[in-house]
Amino acid sequence: MKTNTNIVGKEELIKRIIESIKADKDLSKQLKKEDWQRFLASARILVRAAEEHFLRIIKEALNRGEEIVIKDFFTIKRQIPKAKGSKRCDKHEKEIETFRRANKGKGIQAYAKSETFKKLTREIRKCSNCKSKKQQIAKTVKPTTRITLRTSKNFWTLTKKPTGKGK
């Protein structure tokens, strides 16, 4: 089935990158003329850098469970499943549960206004048992193989004219 969406694969992407680099006057000024020409002549070096290094390094980072944050572009990360079990120590889990039961049906605003709840939250924040429980829980959580990509603010505006001659 045909759709109207263009698919940009690795080769097309690299081709566009090379065109973009070639059109970059500022970049060309940073090299001596002959060096710049030699650089452009060896497009295969660019292809190799993009393909074997840039893309591979991104893949490896994601494999390791790292998060890729590229300011003004996007953030790519593996999805992390919700931790099972409580992040609080037994004592505080019980206290929170008791508070919840006593305030059943009341909204979040009632929680925020409650002195008892505020005090409890402060206590939990300082509790070393809660802290170690939280770390323990975090260790059991492994990133999934699903990826999320979140775009940065202003991502959906073209800042530069796309390279190549338009259609």
Contact positions toward Zn ion, by CB under 5 A? 89, 92, 127, 129-130
Nearer residue to Zn ion within complex by CB, 75 or 86: 86
Nearer residue to Zn ion within complex by CB, 36 or 99: 99
Please, what is the minimum distance in Å from the beta carbon of residue 89 to Zn ion? 3
What is the widest separation between alpha-carbon atoms in the chain?
78
Please, what is the minimum distance in Å from the beta carbon of residue 101 to Zn ion? 18
Cα–Cα separations (whole angstroms), residue 98 to 10, 43, 87, 134, 162: 56, 67, 16, 20, 60
Please, what is the minimum distance in Å from the beta carbon of residue 66 to Zn ion? 30
Rg (CA), the chain: 26
Residue 120 near residue 93, CB atoms below 8 Å: no
Nearer residue to Zn ion within complex by CB, 122 or 146: 122
